[in-house]
Amino acid sequence: MTDQTAALVAQIQAHAGSAPVKLGLILGSGLGHLAQAVQGVAIPYGDLPGFPHVGVSGHNPHLVIGDLEGVRVAVFGAREHYYENGNAAAMRLPLTVLKALGAEALIATNAAGSLRPDIRPGDLMLLNDHINFSGLNPLIGEKTDARFVPMTTAHDPDLRAALKASAKAVGVALPEGVYAWYSGPSFETPAEIRAIKILGGDAVGMSTVPEVILARFLGLKVAAISSITNMAAGMSDEQISHEHTKAMAPLGAAKLEQVLRHFLRTQL
């Protein structure tokens, strides 16, 4: 553990207690509500040296450590996206700290556009794989051989099965699909969406893939869920905008909360 990680762990445990965290959760655009459901301590990122300075509206930059459905969780109320500062590894330190706090797994959430007519705004999609459409990688510059991370089962089959079972139990549809990471911050063109479709993408968004890579690098199991806020560019007459994303995210957020609560209560 580096001195920086050790100092952050000591600081966080001084506030939140030293019982090990079991699971990390990253909340995407408009999905921050769940952080308030956690009984515990909220620490502003600004108080945690080296944590991202997140400037995206619709995100709540706090680390919340505490209990949700009887499981000790660490909730990241916001992420730094690549498009903010051009740093694909922006979430490396927070995820390193998560691992050092004892976590075994990470669930990342995001807002995304759908390329599938059967997955509509307000629906959830469980990522069964991803396409790194940006070509960027958070491990560029990493010097150890650990950088050669296998990604064949990056989206953990056991976690996925557990999340599917929870979704079924609470009556929420949770189709699986492939998420394509687009750097942003501009949205995609219709031609880019057609290209992603040909490549096998089912949803598109501006996050999550670097975190999945980092989580695997750190030895965390990982699963990710998209909350679909719109049909992707060129697929409907609706205007795509960040305002629209923030307005639509709560629809999926309510379903996400049901699935995650059941998952925590019964599967961990």
Q: Among 232, 235, 260, 264, which residue sits at the site for ligand HPA (rule: CB under 6 A)?
A: 232
Q: Which stretch binds ligand HPA (CB under 6 A): 73-81, 97-105, 119-127, 199-207?
A: 199-207
69 in active site: no
Angle between helix axes 157-170 and 242-267 (nearest 10 degrees) is: 100
Please say if 207 is a catalytic residue.
Answer: yes
**Closer CB to ligand HPA, residue 138 or residue 205?**
205
45, 51, 82, 187: which one contacts ligand HPA (CB under 6 A)? 187
Kindly tell me which residue out of 95, 177, 245, 260 binds ligand HPA, with binding defined by CB under 6 A: 245
Residues 6+ apart with CB under 8 A from 52: 45, 61, 78, 79, 80, 84, 90, 91, 94
- Say if CB 132 and CB 50 are below 8 A apart: no
Using CB under 6 A as the binding rule, whether residue 205 contacts ligand HPA is answered as yes
Q: Which residue is nearest to ligand HPA (CB)?
A: 113
Judged by CB under 6 A, does residue 112 bind ligand HPA? yes
Active site residue 83: yes
Quickly list DSSP for the chain: --HHHHHHHHHHHHHH-SSPP-EEEE--TT-THHHHHSEEEEEEGGGSTTS-----TT---EEEEEEETTEEEEEES----HHHHS-TTTTHHHHHHHHHTT--EEEEEEEEEE--TTS-TT-EEEEEEEE-TT---TTTT--SGGGS---TT-S-HHHHHHHHHHHHHHT----EEEEEE---SSPPPHHHHHHHHHHT-SEEESSSHHHHHHHHHHT-EEEEEEEEEEEPTTSSSSPP-HHHHHHHHHHHHHHHHHHHHHHHHHH-
Is 111 catalytic? The answer is: yes
Look up 235 and say whether it is catalytic: no
From candidates 21, 35, 93, 111, binder to ligand HPA by CB under 6 A: 111
Contact status, residue 63 vs residue 51, Cβ threshold 8 Å: yes
Name the segment binding ligand HPA (CB under 6 A); options: 18-26, 45-53, 109-117, 131-139.
109-117
**Near ligand HPA by CB under 6 A: residue from 23, 75, 100, 204:** 204
Is residue 183 annotated as a catalytic residue, yes or no?
no
- Position 51 contacts ligand HPA (CB under 6 A): no
Output the smallest distance, CB 115 to ligand HPA, in A.
Answer: 9
Among residues 89, 91, 229, 264, the one that binds ligand HPA under rule CB under 6 A: 229
| Binds ligand HPA by CB under 6 A, chosen from 155, 212, 230, 264 | 230
> Minimal distance in Å, beta carbon 227 to ligand HPA?
9
Q: For binding to ligand HPA (CB under 6 A), which residues are involved? A: 111-113, 182, 187-188, 204-206, 229-230, 232, 240, 245
Q: Which residues does the annotation mark as catalytic?
A: 29, 59, 81, 83-84, 111, 206-207, 230, 242
